[in-house]
């Protein structure tokens, strides 16, 4: 990544650089901030509606194919899944319909409508194919879809279309965003960060601003599905580039007219706190304590007057810890990028699997984290990507191999580390 990855056109926000002001801001927000016990309930439920998709994205996690699997959850099972989400109680987790391409299911409008009638907020991540028409967006809006997320990897069609494997995908993405605006559906952009897209990120950032997007999510590659192939693994950026992108994101987050978040880049939260503490002139430990005690969200820590108000989870969400993924055949996984299941919704209620299955209980138990993540002072807000640890090492409790941070306790004697790991 070169110098080009620097902040562009956004005006300076009115930042308050004193701890006193920060504390006042936190106090003002306190009424909105509620702790959330991720041992009991997820913030987000993601359902892989199907693995069928007409795109052939180079890095596809789902290794999607053109046709639907006859063993996918049926419409009735999808309704039952919505009922299971409601069993977590109010406020219901956000329900995200992903794929493959959810638009390959003709019943998708009924499923959105069913969940909406139950009071569940639904978002969807369709693929930019001719299945998404103006009429389809209108029907989704009528069914109650709250937000639509779509991929945009580059600021020009050439690399985006070659990455997604279909000519015209870039242009259709822009049309879909127009239709969402027309019918009042919030929009979100997903960008996969690779060696190809790295230098272009500032231009994509400008586009996201011009398109009036609510949230920009930057996805960091996990070697799973088609992304596990050597030619795709080679596209992953280096751990040092993770750090540089995170610092760039932090600067951008202060003035961008949208919210920005990493996916499978949990150590961004550590960078965020380090940078914010530096700005406030306070020890980072003090800020970390405040974040943990008050269950603060990223948007509480880095305020911005330009950012739209959207619901964000308190920091600490990680694979299987505030997020749960249900596969197209009903398997319950900590993440779509971690192909291990704690059970099936065809056999047990979702809440029971999420709360009590050995896989989910263990992955949330940070006293069992190994290596640097196990002794890291930031682990309660970060914990490293469990999916990346699994993809790279085969052990989902090992350290995130793409974090360069050296925890304070790292390098101490094994006895000392064991003591820290229990805290
Ligand atoms: S060492 Fe692990 S827990 Fe600590 S910041 Fe890095 S990824 Fe996060």
> Lowest mean pLDDT: which of 147-161, 173-187, 274-288, 386-400?
147-161
Domain that holds residue 30: 20-323
Overall domain count for the chain: 1
Whether residue 178 lies inside any domain: the answer is yes
| Cα 63 off chain centre by | 19
To test the ligand 1 pocket, which listed residue (400, 406, 411) has its Cβ within 8 A of the most ligand atoms?
A: 400
Residue 248 has pLDDT above 60, yes or no: yes
Residue 3 has pLDDT above 50, yes or no: no
Q: What is the pLDDT of residues 6-37, one digit of tens each?
A: 333 233 333 333 333 333 333 323 323 346 89
Task: Verify whether ligand 1 is closer than 6 Å to residue 399 (CB atom).
Answer: yes
Cβ-based neighbours of 274, under 8 Å, separated by 6 or more: 284
CATH of the domain at 82: 3.20.20.70
> Lowest mean pLDDT: which of 34-38, 256-260, 268-272, 279-283?
34-38
The secondary structure of 338-400 as a DSSP string is B---S-BTTTS-HHHHHHH-HHHHHHH-GGG--HHHHH-TTTTT----HHHHHHHHS-TTS--
Task: Verify whether ligand 1 is closer than 6 Å to residue 126 (CB atom).
Answer: no
Instruction: Identify the band that residue 67 occupies on the pLDDT scale cut at 50, 70 and 90.
Output: confident
- Closest residue (by CA) to atom 1 of ligand 1? 373
CA distance 33 to 35: 7
Q: What is the pLDDT of residues 87-104, one digit of tens each?
A: 999 999 999 999 889 999
Residue 142 has pLDDT above 50, yes or no: yes
Query: Residue 416's pLDDT is what?
Result: 58
Q: What is the pLDDT of residues 313-364, one digit of tens each?
A: 778 899 999 999 999 999 999 999 999 999 999 999 999 999 999 999 999 9
Which helix or strand (DSSP H or E) is residue 44 part of? strand 44-48
Rg (CA), the chain: 21
Å from CA of 366 to ligand 1 middle: 12
Whether residue 369 lies inside any domain: the answer is no
Query: Residue 24's pLDDT is what?
Result: 31
Which helix or strand (DSSP H or E) is residue 322 part of? strand 322-326
Mean pLDDT of 68-82: 96
Q: How many CA atoms lie within 13 A of 58 on its CB side?
A: 20
Work out the number of other CB atoms within 10 angstroms of the CB of residue 34: 9
Å from CA of 376 to ligand 1 middle: 6
Whether residue 203 lies inside any domain: the answer is yes
Go through 234-250 and write b for each residue having 16 or more CB atoms within 10 A of its CB, e for each that does not: ebbbeeebbbbbbbbbb
Query: Residue 206's pLDDT is what?
Result: 94
Whether residue 191 lies inside any domain: the answer is yes
Query: Residue 170's pLDDT is what?
Result: 87
Instruction: Identify the band that residue 4 occupies on the pLDDT scale cut at 50, 70 and 90.
Output: very low
Whether residue 335 lies inside any domain: the answer is no
To test the ligand 1 pocket, which listed residue (272, 372, 374, 393) has its Cβ within 8 A of the most ligand atoms?
A: 372
Nearest to 170 by CA among 198, 194, 151: 151
Of ligand 1's atoms, which has the minimum distance to the CA of residue 400?
A: 7
Whether residue 394 lies inside any domain: the answer is no
Alpha-carbon dihedral angle through residues 138, 143, 144, 149, given to the nearest 10 degrees:
-60
Instruction: Identify the band that residue 223 occupies on the pLDDT scale cut at 50, 70 and 90.
Output: confident
CA distance 358 to 296: 28
Query: Residue 417's pLDDT is what?
Result: 55
Instruction: Identify the band that residue 49 occupies on the pLDDT scale cut at 50, 70 and 90.
Output: very high
Task: Verify whether ligand 1 is closer than 6 Å to residue 321 (CB atom).
Answer: no
Q: Which position has the higher pLDDT, 301 or 309?
A: 301
Location of structure tokens 């920060």 = 22
Task: Verify whether ligand 1 is closer than 6 Å to residue 403 (CB atom).
Answer: yes
Whether residue 413 lies inside any domain: the answer is no
Mean pLDDT of 159-168: 71
SS3 of 296-311: CCHHHHCCCCCCCCCC
Burial status of residue 135 (CB atoms within 10 A of its CB: 0-12, 13-18, 19 or more): exposed
Of ligand 1's atoms, which has the minimum distance to the CA of residue 399?
A: 2
Q: How many residues does the chain have?
A: 423
Whether residue 337 lies inside any domain: the answer is no
CA distance 36 to 115: 22
Task: Verify whether ligand 1 is closer than 6 Å to residue 270 (CB atom).
Answer: yes
Instruction: Identify the band that residue 196 occupies on the pLDDT scale cut at 50, 70 and 90.
Output: confident
> Lowest mean pLDDT: which of 6-15, 273-282, 409-418?
6-15
| Cα 89 off chain centre by | 22
Report in angstroms the alpha-carbon separations of 16 from 164, 250, 372: 42, 15, 33
Instruction: Identify the band that residue 153 occupies on the pLDDT scale cut at 50, 70 and 90.
Output: confident
Which helix or strand (DSSP H or E) is residue 330 part of? none
């Amino acid at each position: 990544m070169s110098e080009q990855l620097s902040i562009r056109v956004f005006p300076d926000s009115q930042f308050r650089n004193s701890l006193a002001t920060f504390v006042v801001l936190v106090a003002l927000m306190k009424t909105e901030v509620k702790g959330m016990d991720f041992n009991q309930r997820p913030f987000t439920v993601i359902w892989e509606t199907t693995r069928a998709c007409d795109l052939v994205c180079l890095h596809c996690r789902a290794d999607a194919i053109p046709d639907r699997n006859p063993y996918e959850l049926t419409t009735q099972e999808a309704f039952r899944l919505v009922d299971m989400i409601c069993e977590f109680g109010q406020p219901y987790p956000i329900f995200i319909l992903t794929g493959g391409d959810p638009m390959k299911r003709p019943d998708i409008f009924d499923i959105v409508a069913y969940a909406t009638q139950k009071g569940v907020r639904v978002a969807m991540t369709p693929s930019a194919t001719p299945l998404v028409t103006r009429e389809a967006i209108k029907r989704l809006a009528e069914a109650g879809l709250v937000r639509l997320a779509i991929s945009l990897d580059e600021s020009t069609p050439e690399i985006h279309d070659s990455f997604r494997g279909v000519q015209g995908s870039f242009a259709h993405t822009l049309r879909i965003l127009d239709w969402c605006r027309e019918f009042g559906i919030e929009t979100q952009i997903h960008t996969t960060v690779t060696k190809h897209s790295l230098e272009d990120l500032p231009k994509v950032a400008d586009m996201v601003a011009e398109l009036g997007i609510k949230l920009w999510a930057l996805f960091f590659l996990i070697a799973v599905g088609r992304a596990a192939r050597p030619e795709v693994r080679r596209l992953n950026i280096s751990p040092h580039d993770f750090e540089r992108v995170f610092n760039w994101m932090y600067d951008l987050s202060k003035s961008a007219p949208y919210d920005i978040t990493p996916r499978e880049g949990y150590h961004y939260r550590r960078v965020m706190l380090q940078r914010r503490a530096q700005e406030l002139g306070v020890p980072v430990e003090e800020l970390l304590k405040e974040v943990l005690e008050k269950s603060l969200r990223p948007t509480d820590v880095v305020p911005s007057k330009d950012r739209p108000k959207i619901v964000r989870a308190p920091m600490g969400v990680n694979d299987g810890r505030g997020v749960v993924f249900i596969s197209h055949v009903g398997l319950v996984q900590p993440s779509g990028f971690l192909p291990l299941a704690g059970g099936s919704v065809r056999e047990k209620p979702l809440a029971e699997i999420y709360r009590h299955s050995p896989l989910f209980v263990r992955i949330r138990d940070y006293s069992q984290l190994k290596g640097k993540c196990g002794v890291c002072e930031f682990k309660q807000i970060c914990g490293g990507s469990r999916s990346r640890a699994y993809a790279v090492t085969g052990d989902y409790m090992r350290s995130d191999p793409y974090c360069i941070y050296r925890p304070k306790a790292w390098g101490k004697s094994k006895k000392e580390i064991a003591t820290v790991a229990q805290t």
